[in-house]
Amino acid sequence: MNDGRLSREYFDLIKDALQEEEKTGGSGSSSPRKRRKLRSLQKEPELESESNRVVITIESDDEEQNNYDDDDDDDDDDDEYDSEEFEDVTDAPANNGNISITIDTSAQKKSTKKKKKTEHGLDPAVKEFRKTCHMFMLLTLVCHSYQRNEWCNDEKLQKKLAKLVSDDIFNNLHPQKDDEMPLRSTRKLLDALRMLMKHWNKKFKLELTSPYEFNHLYMVHWDSVLKHKCESVTFKTFKKFFTRMRGPANISVQGFVTMLRGCGLNARLIHSLQPPDFTDSKIYNKRVVWSLENECLKYPIFWCEVWDKFAKQWITIDIVGQEIIEQVRYKSKLEPIGRINSAFNMMRYVIAFDRKQGCKDVSRRYIAHLQNKVRKKRITREAKLNEWFNSIIKFLNKRNRNRIDDYEDEYFDLRNEHEGIPDSLQDIKNHPFYVLEKDLRANQVLKPGAQQCGFLRLRNKSNSLLKVFPRKDVISCYSARHWYMQGRALKSGAKHLLTHKIKNPVEEDEDEERLYPIGQTEYVIPKQVDADGKIPTNFYGNIDIYKPWMIPIGCCLVENPNSIKAASFLRVPFAKAVTGFKFESGRRVKPKVTGVVVENEYVDALVAVIENIEECNDDAARHELELEALNGWSLLLTKLRIKSRLVEEHGAVADEDGRDYSGERDSDLEDHESYTGEDTEMGGFEQGGFLLDSNMDGGFVPEPELQHAESETEQVEHPPVTYGEATLDRAEPSNTEPNEIADEFEQFLQEVGSQSDDDDSFQYESE
């Protein structure tokens, strides 16, 4: 065998064996088909799984037995396979005991599909991190634009830039209303804006290589999020740009907005936010080279809008990119087109900031397929995150709603209708305006007599048509229990629209549950309070308060953990309020009692008692902390007494390193000897270093239960230990009150302080 090929003898052996199997009844495939399989498998050497290999096993008595793979890239192998002798080899499913040939193409396809599926897969933790990072960067970008809008409202800067506008242009920016032809006034405004845009571009020069935030606000991939750095721009730096009249494109747009506001126009600053795409499942990005001059400026992320009071619509102005002025109807020229442009500028969130500190999401105006395509790229596709995003916009919006918002919302509704029905099953799934009947949930049903608004043809063999219905014709049905949790009860004679099978864990069978629409329900009317003041309760002695209108008339719900204790202390009529349920493992459901329901006349007294209880609880917690701290100091004093007693009665023993066994140096030993008067001639030992007094228990303080004398009233008295003038009593059983411990510790500190003023040799090192 040479060059990784089968020898001539082995090749003839395989050929004869396969021909013999074909003659005995093996139904193999034709020779050319076998050849194609081998060649197709040979062309995929990159797969590392064993399923892409043709394994030939030869059982022989010879010692040389080897397995060969058909993955070899040698050119001589192709010549060997292309020989006429190999053309007669046929595939046989049966084995003769000596030769077995296995070709597992199904496993190869399965492994290939699996590898393609998991090639760019991400862990759930990574996906969650990217979503959180996307939200964080989205928030920071909105705040960035909000701050720039505040800078554009600076009156001094507006007056400075407004001086650049000539009188002719200024007069045309405020044309008179033409009653005969309103469009004539709009045309004058558009011409003035076009002249002003050209005038600004002559005055302000762009710097593409500026270190300030030019291309750093564009979208980047996840593997390079932390690599982009730029210098921060302060308000002082912001004003210097317009003194020199040079700067990046974003600053140019913001200066143009400032000039328009200085001229008295209602101008808005528009920012297309570019956080990283959290739906991108690729781990590494394929590097795409782009040109700052061509790509960044062609589709900007900052532009402005001017309100046209004659046409009742906003005029879009792009001064740095395409230098256009348009009145967007159905499609904007500022929306990026192309794979390269979308890789760095994906229009998903377009936010507008006006001169009165207004903030609004105007993505509907500039994104053509907002609901069909881009909706999946936005964080607002989830209900909870949509509320989060709307709360941010609402917080940054400092002005009240006006008529301009009404006109704009009407335009947005028309755009939603004009967008039309999606052209794929993926886009129509969970669509906010359209739905397929097969995509309805188990508790949803179409209105009786609902008409389809369109059809969707499937591009498959059947070419079937699917009816598309408006989502507004979908009715959600729920059980009577669910409606009661929402504060609604079934009407008399209510008719159900759906039935739902549920499992009964007790009887181990399925029961049918009726589902009702909201039209078959009404608000729950609570029961009245009795004449004697008794609050109505249910079978369990509680009252269900799931919605505010379920509270009885003349009563009030007080939610507090101490409300039940306070009501019991006052002895007023009350009822425990169940405001929800807590689901636990094992199909266990527990009601959540969060407060009590009392009559209005008892509310003030109940609140006062609750505040007193909370104050007492705080005092008890504070007292417990103080007691714990004092016990710690008491333990420290006890250890000090024990240590001083050992040094006084047994002496300090020093080792070869000059440290005693208690952790003090020789200098510390001399200090102790000066206070205790010990003789160091014997090395600090007294008669072997131990006292033979049996009451001393080997020099250690006895346990409290061993300190009792023969009589219960008689106790062993120990002489106090003195450090100069400072006196420390020996440890007693810890039965003292916290106040006594505090007084004792304060007295000890005073004695030690007075002694340290007289003699600086008193020191203590904590171990």
Provide the token pair at 325.
């002025």
Number of H helices, E strands in the chain: 21, 25
- Beta-strand pair 498-504/509-515: antiparallel
Residues 82, 86, 90, CA angle at the centre, nearest 5°?
A: 130
Secondary structure of 464-511 in HEC code, one letter for each residue? CEEEEEEHHHEEECECHHHHHHCCEEECCCCCCCEEEEEEECCCCEEE
> What is the residue-wise DSSP string for 401-442?
--HHHHHHHHHHHHHHHHH---SSHHHHTT-SSEEEGGG--T
424 with 460: CB under 8 angstroms?
Answer: no
The letter for the amino acid at 493 is: G
Most confident of 418-427, 473-482, 578-587: 473-482
SS3 13: helix
Digit-coded pLDDT (tens) for 104-126? 444 444 444 444 444 346 788 88
CATH number at 434-518: 2.20.20.110
Query: For the range 378-384, what are the long-range contacts, defined as Cβ-Cβ under 8 Å and sequence gap of 24 or more?
Result: 378/348, 378/349, 379/131, 379/134, 379/135, 379/138, 379/278, 381/430
Tell me which residue of 285, 343, 275, 283 sits closest to 133, measured CA to CA.
Answer: 275
Answer yes or no: same fold for 124-419 and 525-642: no
pLDDT above 70 (res 93): no
Give the DSSP H or E segment for 557.
Answer: strand 555-559
What CA–CA distance (Å, rounded) separates 135 from 384?
13
The letter for the amino acid at 113 is: K
729 with 720: CB under 8 angstroms?
Answer: yes
- pLDDT for res 474: 93
Domain boundaries, the chain: 124-419, 434-518, 525-642
pLDDT band at 206 (very low <50, low <70, confident <90, very high): confident
The whole-number average pLDDT for the span 569-579 is: 93
Provide the token pair at 99.
């030769």
What CA–CA distance (Å, rounded) separates 651 from 683?
9
- pLDDT for res 18: 73
CA end-to-end span of the chain: 78
User: Could you give the percent of the chain with pLDDT greater than 70?
Assistant: 65
Most confident of 19-23, 48-52, 161-165, 650-654: 161-165
How many other C-beta atoms can be found within 10 angstroms of the C-beta atom of residue 65? 10
- pLDDT for res 210: 60
What CA–CA distance (Å, rounded) separates 49 from 70?
13
What CA–CA distance (Å, rounded) separates 177 from 182?
7
Residue 359's contacts (CB-CB under 8 Å, 6 or more residues apart) are 142, 146, 351, 352, 353, 393, 396, 397, 398
CATH number at 525-642: 3.30.70.2460
Digit-coded pLDDT (tens) for 223-234? 777 766 677 889
Give me the chain's average pLDDT, please: 76
Q: Is 26 exposed, middle or buried (0-12, 13-18, 19+ CB in 10 A)?
A: middle
Provide the token pair at 221.
């991939």
pLDDT above 80 (res 506): no
Give the DSSP H or E segment for 754.
Answer: helix 738-758
The letter for the amino acid at 296 is: C
490 with 470: CB under 8 angstroms?
Answer: no
The whole-number average pLDDT for the span 483-503 is: 90
What CA–CA distance (Å, rounded) separates 465 from 650?
102
Provide the token pair at 274.
């570019």
Which segment of 189-198, 355-364, 752-761 scores lowest on mean pLDDT?
A: 752-761
pLDDT above 80 (res 665): no
- Beta-strand pair 246-247/205-206: parallel
pLDDT above 90 (res 322): no
- pLDDT for res 214: 53
- pLDDT for res 16: 74
The whole-number average pLDDT for the span 300-309 is: 94
The CATH T-level fold of domain 124-419 is: Coagulation Factor XIII; Chain A, domain 2 (3.90.260)
SS3 108: helix
- pLDDT for res 740: 64
In this prediction the pTM is 0.62
Q: Is 508 exposed, middle or buried (0-12, 13-18, 19+ CB in 10 A)?
A: exposed
Distances (CA, A) of 672 to 685, 730, 731, 763: 14, 17, 20, 9
Q: Is 436 exposed, middle or buried (0-12, 13-18, 19+ CB in 10 A)?
A: middle
Distances (CA, A) of 104 to 33, 99, 143, 651: 15, 16, 59, 87
Residue 721's contacts (CB-CB under 8 Å, 6 or more residues apart) are 641, 644, 645, 648, 727, 728, 729, 730
